[in-house]
Amino acid sequence: MATLKYIIQSKNENSNIYVRYSIDRKTNLKRKTGFTINPKDWSVDKAQPKQTRDDLKAIKFKLDKLAIFLNEAFNNAVSKGAQFNGDWLQFQIDLFNNKIKIVDFDILTNSIDAYIDNGDNLTKGSIKNLENLKKFIVNYETDALKGNQILIRNIDLNFIDTFKKYHVSKGRSVNYIGTYMSLLKAVVKKASQNGIPIHPQFNQIKMIKEHKNPDEIIILTEEEQELLKNANIILQSHINARKWLLLGCLIGQRAGDLLNITDKNLRDLQGMKIIELKQQKTGKLVAIPLLPEALKIIENGLPYKISLEHFNKYSKDICKIAKINTIIKGKMRIDKKRTLTAGYYEKWQVISSHVCRRSFATNFYGKIPTSVLMNITAHGTETVFLNYIGKTTYDNAYQMLEYFSKLKPIIEKSNSDI
Residue by residue, DSSP assigns 258-312 as: HTT--GGGEEEETTEEEEEEE-TTT--EEEEE--HHHHHHTTT-PPPP--HHHHH
Percent of the chain with pLDDT over 70: 87
Give the separation between CA 188 and CA 92, rounded to whole angstroms: 19
Contacts 24+ apart (CB under 8 A), 77-83: 80/156, 80/157, 80/158, 81/157, 81/158, 82/156, 82/157, 82/158, 82/201, 83/157, 83/201, 83/204
- Residue 394 pLDDT more than 60? no
- Where do the domains of the chain lie? 3-96, 105-204, 216-261+306-402
Closest CA to 172 of 310, 390, 329, 337: 337
Model confidence over 301-337: pLDDT tens digits?
Answer: 999 999 999 999 999 999 999 999 999 988 777 665 5
Q: In whole angstroms, how far apart are CA 10 and each of 4, 36, 208?
A: 19, 10, 47
Predicted confidence band of residue 125 (pLDDT cuts 50, 70, 90): confident
Residue by residue, DSSP assigns 311-345 as: HHHHHHHHHHHTT---EEEEEE--SSSS--EEEEE
Model confidence over 159-181: pLDDT tens digits?
Answer: 888 888 888 787 777 777 888 88
Mean pLDDT taken over the chain: 85
Give the separation between CA 391 and CA 379, rounded to whole angstroms: 14
Give the separation between CA 374 and CA 93, rounded to whole angstroms: 50
Amino acid identity at 160? I
Predicted confidence band of residue 386 (pLDDT cuts 50, 70, 90): confident
Model confidence over 70-117: pLDDT tens digits?
Answer: 998 888 777 656 678 888 888 889 888 887 666 687 899 999 988 888
- Residue 414 pLDDT more than 60? no
Model confidence over 217-229: pLDDT tens digits?
Answer: 899 999 999 999 9
Residue by residue, DSSP assigns 33-94 as: EEEEE-GGGEETTTTEE-TTSHHHHHHHHHHHHHHHHHHHHHHHHHHTT----HHHHHHHHH
